[in-house]
Amino acid sequence: MHPQDTDIPNLVADMQHSVRAALAEDVGSGDITAQLIPADQRARARVITREDCTLCGRAWAEEVFRQLDPELRLEWHFEDGDKVPAESVIFELEGSARSILTGERTALNFLQTLSGTATTASQYATRAADTQIRILDTRKTIPGLRSAQKYAVLCGGCHNHRIGLYDAFLIKENHIAAAGGIDKAVAQARAIKPEALVEVEVENLEELKQALASGADVIMLDEFTDADTQAALSLARGKAKIEISGSVDSERLRQLAQLDVDYISSGSLTKHLRAIDLSLRIDL
């Protein structure tokens, strides 16, 4: 997969901006340790994963070294979305030893973080592989890396919920109270942005009926029992999609698959990630 293959808005521009900010944060006025190395010293290096992972972040790593030194040459052995076994060489690079070492940490920070997100998403996607359920991410992302993590979720085989507050409505309890009811909130949403998806979170079957009557596209069930979930699915069939939100383990996923739920959204895809253990080894 490549960032240009997605519909995530401004992904490439966001990537370039994130890399620029990360390099400014790390390099500052200059890498004084790299100055220990002769300016004309060339080197080869290998980036290795110490654990199994789903790769993500190739374009971010490439952008780090492009911004630092366009003459560096990178050779990749895996693509974003590939399952990479532990101890594999992900990519090699050749060129200025100073440039390689200056960019090492920033490049690996992006690669290990986005690969951690993609690996978590891949685990969820595997759980849902034999079901009709689509696993969605949320807005619980690392600040400044929203579009990057949304891309990583796709690399892992899951799907994107709304990108931000601007592209879809998600009407929750406080919105409903402030707007004066579900019907008024949905009507106002249609007036503000008619083409946008409208989702309503409900806490009971009565609110579900109100959401259906209002014409909501998706209804999120908050803390419903299995019996009430089944009732909600029967009421909503052909009228709206049903989403369950929250952490779902393998057993719970099997139960929800039997109930024929449309979506499960989980903040764990992006907020509970563990960075993949990567290392760079240099050969002079």
pLDDT, position 260: 82
pLDDT of the chain, 284 residues: tens digit per residue: 888 889 999 999 999 999 999 999 999 999 999 999 999 999 999 999 999 999 999 999 999 999 999 999 999 999 999 999 999 999 999 999 999 999 999 999 999 999 999 999 999 999 888 888 999 999 999 999 999 999 999 999 999 999 999 999 999 999 999 999 999 999 999 999 999 999 999 999 999 999 999 999 999 998 888 899 999 999 999 999 999 987 676 677 777 877 888 999 999 899 988 999 999 999 87
Active site residues: 105, 140, 172, 201, 222
* pLDDT reported for residue 148: 98
Q: What is the helix (H) or strand (E) element at residue 93, kind and residue range?
A: strand 89-96
H helices present in the chain, as ranges: 11-27, 58-68, 97-127, 146-155, 173-179, 182-192, 205-214, 226-236, 250-259, 268-271
Instruction: Return the structure tokens found at 153.
Output: 């979720």
Note the pLDDT of residue 1.
85
Domain 3-126+273-283 has CATH 3.90.1170.20: yes
CATH 3.20.20.70 residue spans of the chain: 130-271
CATH number of 130-271: 3.20.20.70
Give me the pLDDT at residue 250, please: 66
The whole-angstrom separation of Cα 84 and Cα 49 is 8
Q: If you count them, how many residues does the chain have? A: 284
Tally Cβ neighbours within 10 Å of residue 123. Answer: 16
Distance separating alpha carbons of residues 134 and 140, to the nearest angstrom: 18
Q: Let me know: does 122 contact 87? Beta carbons within 8 Å.
A: no
Where in the chain do CATH 3.90.1170.20 domains reside? 3-126+273-283
